[in-house]
Structure 1
Amino acid sequence: MLRDSVLPPAESATFISEHAKQVEIHYKGINKLCEQMISSISGKKLIIPEIEASSTQPLLGHTQAVDWIFVTDTLNFCFWSLGEDKKWTVDGHTGYCALEAALHKAVKNGYNITSPKYYSQMPRDKIIEVFKGDTEEQIPLIEERISVLHEVGTILVDKFQGTFETCVKEANKSAINLLKIVIENFPCFRDEAVYKGENVSFYKRAQILVADLWNLFQGKGWGEFYDIDKITMFADYRVPQVLVYFGVLNYSDNLMKKLKNNVLIENGTEEEIEIRGCSIHSVELLKIKLQDKIKEEQIDVDVINSALIDYYLWCYRRKHAHEIAKLPFHKTLCIYY
């Protein structure tokens, strides 16, 4: 258990998928997606679709790269809009890439946004300025973002010597240890719910924080975790959309009607929990299918884990956005994803 009486994400997902009524997992879709991903393996690696956003990502050589990733994933939630004309954009980027672009620009313009001591006391108007977009459209949930910035910055200053590096050191190269440190000490990362009487968890932002460290540092130094394969996919609103596109997930007629009509799905409702839980479980099943296929066909590949699968699917969605946009995604206002 990561937290007392709360099922961890993989176990939560199994329980949810076994009881789900509005969402189904289809093995035919898993097989189809498996073949798609097998064809994307080259040079011992799973090739992630290019999305032309590398210029906005955290800088590996920056002296506060670890804290840069932490502040990015602290703010990594809710970028959707109800219409194309209402999208928050930064230097032409949308969604999460717009967040990266805003933070990149802030660092370039002299804002010490990677310093917990700085952003724990950062005035509201300065934070709003950092997230100023290309138009009058504002980043969603700006007040919540101000609140979580102040919250996590204060905790890092008070408990961890003013840097997330202290948390990573305390984790002692364990992804699960780091995940536990994050959810125990930072309330805004406690992505949990109650489903059919069970306390379940998803920990989207906490898990992607660990995985982003692993990915940026290429599994070395600050990103070395011997148990990174214990991390599940990061249950948001975009990866489920691409899972539906590949036929891995199927929504009930009632749920699909709501999504097509832009009905908000409340955080913590059974529909939302089933979408996220079945997404996690389907990717765990996909991971096993991929690993079996790789072994069976003796394909030479370094690693296949749920984090890489998530990165692949998320980038696939962005690269094929026009085609996949024909399918609706669930819209939930919350700080967890």
Structure 2
Amino acid sequence: MRGKTVKILIAGAGLAGLSLARALLTRGIRADVVERRPDWTSSGFGLFLPGNASRAFAELGLFSAISQSAVPIRRQDFYDHRGRHLSTVDSERFWEGCGPCLGMPRAVMHKILLDSVAPVPIRTGRAIADVRQVAGGCLVTFDDWSCETYDLVVGADGLNSTVRRLAIDPAPPTYTGNGCWRFFADNHAGIDAWTVMVAKGRTLLAEPVDRSTLYVYAELAQAAGDPRERASRAELQAIFADFTAPLGPLLRQLQPDTPVHFSRIEAVQPPVCFRGRVVLIGDAAHATSPSMAEGAGMACEDAVLLADAITAGDDLDTALGRYAARRQPRVDWVRGQSETRDRIRRLPAAISTRLLRFAGTRMYRRSYTPLLAKA
């Protein structure tokens, strides 16, 4: 579409939507962005950015701002639930030449992205009611019954994407068999690495996101029943009561006024990522369990590659086909590795800890080596 004005609607002003708005803006296209939430108060907890994620955000011209607000994560330490060290991965060395691994609050990343797209109109509290394919584009109806026609509609509206449901796949997200709790904690112990403790069906993880704060993530495998029945703070502390240092004390020191968020972990796998003039990116297209920590990185890579495709000079239909063909193998790899890691976590502790002790670095390299290459 080089040399031609293209009218684009981005549904969703999270990391995926704002990354695409930024990528398009740097290429001379000012998209419309709508966000169904009325404000930005729900900004999540922590982010871990592997090296490929840092590289993708660097392509948006944001690496300096992000690195100044983030904590370098130079290694990953693995322990069993009794505190016995299993292995350490030198992530700094692995990602050398690609980008550093970083930890930061999601809200900080969101503000950096918002500031970077200041010229772009973002309409909050505006939801999409309908999307219809018309000749050469899409007719979008909003929740106030106003209508507008666009050359392209991008669903960057997350796991429970309205755009996906209306235009590509009505199937709801699928429960992965896991539930998780997230919260921030004071880093009294001076933890300076991505640190995880494992037991059968249970994972407790922490990473620094600033000089004094840890992002804490606790996961429980519960294939049967609804994990929301065990969502309380008391259940969290009881489930992980036998976890010792370095992370167990974080749960026992949890204050009554500390916000703790619980959620079922769900995934989506639509049959296609685009149909006609509608395309999905980020979690709307390929949400998986967070075991690869690739959500933000994949969203940003989607944004960069889609913006490249749109501005490469082809017509939009050809551009979308090329984007999908280029992106799908990487999406499939990350999804497959996420599912493999989830299965390992459900193995008996004697097996999973032995794997981490004797093959932890080898498993890490196998999972992430394909991501060293640019998307």
- Fold-level similarity (TM above 0.5): no
Q: Please give the TM-score of this superposition, normalised by the length of structure 1.
A: 0.28
Compare relative contact order (CA 8 Å, sep 6+) and give the higher one, 1 or 2: 1
User: Which structure has the highest helix share of the two?
Assistant: 1
Structure showing the higher strand proportion among its residues: 2
